[in-house]
Chain A
């Protein structure tokens, strides 16, 4: 065994060295810390937050938690409606959601998956506060005490809360409602919905449960509890009231919640509606990602979207192909210009450089609109061609509102991003190499192809990466000149962000686009080598 080398202070040299290195690293980290925090806060965090929406689906289980739980037991394969308990649960959830104005938001979310759910939730929301009224009426007929908010508070509230509420001086917020353990134990459903009622009353309306009669749906829950445990024995002053109600409950006139829902809209009889709610009930979903590649989630698994709704794969493919076309056009047009810039005398080169940069300083929209004027049917280019006699007047070229228009306009807009890295790389290639090659007997072409071109490849690489990645994310130019065949996937992302508000789908499309770019970057690194990319000398 080799003897350990010790440092001057007796610790092993290895550990001592490590410690010194770590200290250095920490110091370096402190130096870059402000920048790191800045990038995290302004770049990584917002992007992460946006991408997170592509899987986030908490809205369903947050808005209708009872329904989601009740649906767990539903057998989707039977192709039947869910049992009455699910309708009950939904009635309770909606009663809460309507008060909080959350039901329409959920409706919009589910409408992305099945048309019609949006208005179904809105319509049902208008009627849901009537559900259970029949039980309230019968309870009140039995004993008017049921009309008194105080009865309900005594029955439902924790004694400590009642004391705290009584001691509250009216300043600030009322103490948050606490439901009593006895109520949870003996009247579980009533306690559950009453707690929600009290929460909504306190937070949303800034009111007190001691002042407000509970919603009718609470009476429905109480009826269900009393039927479930007829011999319920509530301790305290209300024992008589509750046991009278329990005795009377079996003879109550009942309400068929399923019928109430169906009365609002027949769609509640449609198993598809329930399947959609069921499929999208988990807090996280891959549904957006599936939609983003023309698939859909059903209770039978994953299926293709109907053919007349498939569009995203086409658009991804088109975005890739057109971005590559634009990149290649930029290389073809930019290479000679960069060569000229690099080899002209400085005065002339500077003038040309300004010409290259000039469009760079003009607004993107102005440049794109200028292309519209040039390219359109009655535009400058077509007029010129007709005048020269190249084309007939009734046979003008379609240069805009199609893929051609997008390629032309975007090549022009992105050209400086190709020329600049090419130019800076070419500047470092001594022109004497070419002369040397020729003096050794190479033809002009051989000298260029074997000697000059390989040295300029890093510039092509850098330019191509810039142009390709920029063009993949473009959407303003394709929107203006692209018509229908020249639009990119980013146009759809913009649509879902600002018009349809389907941010989950937009995030999923964005995440896929990001993954494609990273994958292409990785492939580029493997094939060409990222070390070969040069932005300058």
Chain B
């Protein structure tokens, strides 16, 4: 592939100059990439501001997390990495690690031990799903419904999503197969532990699509996390799925007639990665930031601003009240025992394999 190599080398050379300049003037700056909105605001308050105060480093926010993998790959090919720390969901972290685009982290060496004396790897436990991933929060994709549009029997199960008779009206679901296929099977009588085995077969996929077919005409498909809260607030849909933090702010901060339907919520993780190939000084600074921002107290602090559960076990007892509303945050966490009676854990490895295939089928199904 000499031609490609030549092409890449040329672009790398062109960019080498700018890298040198960039490295020079960024001595006291670092670029942190995240999702924007209320989420970035919570990170700003809980991590960035105290870190800047302690170290004098200026933090530049970039809201590109939703296309972080594509952009990091492009930066890597161009040989010019402009990001220092990137906030991504776990599945993206696994992909970045797979592609060699993220730095591998030794949790016990490079992360703070827990406040309760436990080692970092014990404190994070199973949430360290990839060698490159430093977990930050546990969030869930779950459903909410309009309390004034469901009559006297509010839904208690995710299967209400598929029950047009009891709950007529539009519903909003994410425009991708992930989660929707699992819920369809669960509500079609497949046992929770068998879902992925069934979904692996052609018949199982057909079964899930057949279940989704029953509500297809009543679904608004969303692609941005803000869509469902908007649709619920406007009364466009009677129920819909989104990230639990979005529903929290809709219900508690904006006081809309909406309630949570925690049933069969799908847990997912969000956290940090450090891009591979940073200069040693920038890498050291990024690691220093990560060490600070993922310690027990900092993770608990973030929960003051947004209802996502801290990823460290040792942070849970420290979760307090909302910074402005003054309400207890613990009952709004997806991990709260009352909310987590029936949960689902996003199966990263399975979806890494079947994502391309099922997505093609899902898109074809949508277009029919």
Contact = CB atoms under 8 A, between A and B. Distances in A.
Given A101-B100, A104-B98, A376-B236, A310 B220 contact: no
Contacts of A500: 355-356, 359
Contacts of A107: 98
A376 B237 CA distance: 11
B326 to A, nearest CB: 33
Contact of B367 (A111, A484, A497, A502): A484
Contact of B1 (A122, A283, A401, A484): A283
A49 B350 CA distance: 33
B1 A58 contact: yes
Interface in B24-82: 66-67, 69-70, 73
B7 interface: yes
A105 B353 contact: no
Interface residues of B, number: 40
A108 interface: yes
B4 A314 contact: no
Nearest to B8: A49
Query: Looking at A118, A122, A310, A483, which has the most chain B CB atoms within 10 Å of its CB?
Result: A118
Interface string B346-368: 00010011111111110111110
Contact of A497 (B11, B70, B354): B70
Contact of A378 (B97, B235, B349, B354): B235
Query: Looking at B70, B99, B170, B355, which has the most chain A CB atoms within 10 Å of its CB?
Result: B70
Contact of B7 (A52, A117, A314, A379): A52
A58 B220 contact: no
A212 interface: no
Contacts of B170: 377
Interface string A111-143: 110011111001000000000000000000000
Contacts of A498: 66-67, 69-70
Interface in A133-175: none
A196 B357 CA distance: 35
A115 B234 contact: no
A102 interface: yes
A107 B100 CA distance: 13
Contact of B353 (A111, A308, A311, A401): A111
Query: Looking at B11, B236, B367, which has the most chain A CB atoms within 10 Å of its CB?
Result: B367
B7 A49 contact: yes
B285 interface: no
Query: Looking at B1, B7, B66, B209, which has the most chain A CB atoms within 10 Å of its CB?
Result: B1
A479 interface: yes
Given A102-B100, A308-B365, A484-B221, A501 B360 contact: no
Contacts of B98: 104-105, 107-108, 118, 122
Contacts of A105: 98-100
Interface in A307-346: 308-311, 314-315
Interface in A77-112: 101-102, 104-105, 107-108, 111-112
A122 B98 CA distance: 8
B69 A377 contact: no
B227 to A, nearest CB: 9
Interface of B: 1, 3-4, 7, 11, 66-67, 69-70, 73, 95, 97-100, 170, 175, 209, 220-221, 223, 234-236, 349, 352-361, 363-367
7 contacts: A52-B7, A56-B4, A104-B98, A119-B349, A311-B360, A379-B234, A500-B355
Interface of A: 49, 52, 56, 58, 62, 101-102, 104-105, 107-108, 111-112, 115-119, 122, 283, 305, 308-311, 314-315, 376-379, 401, 479, 483-485, 492, 497-502
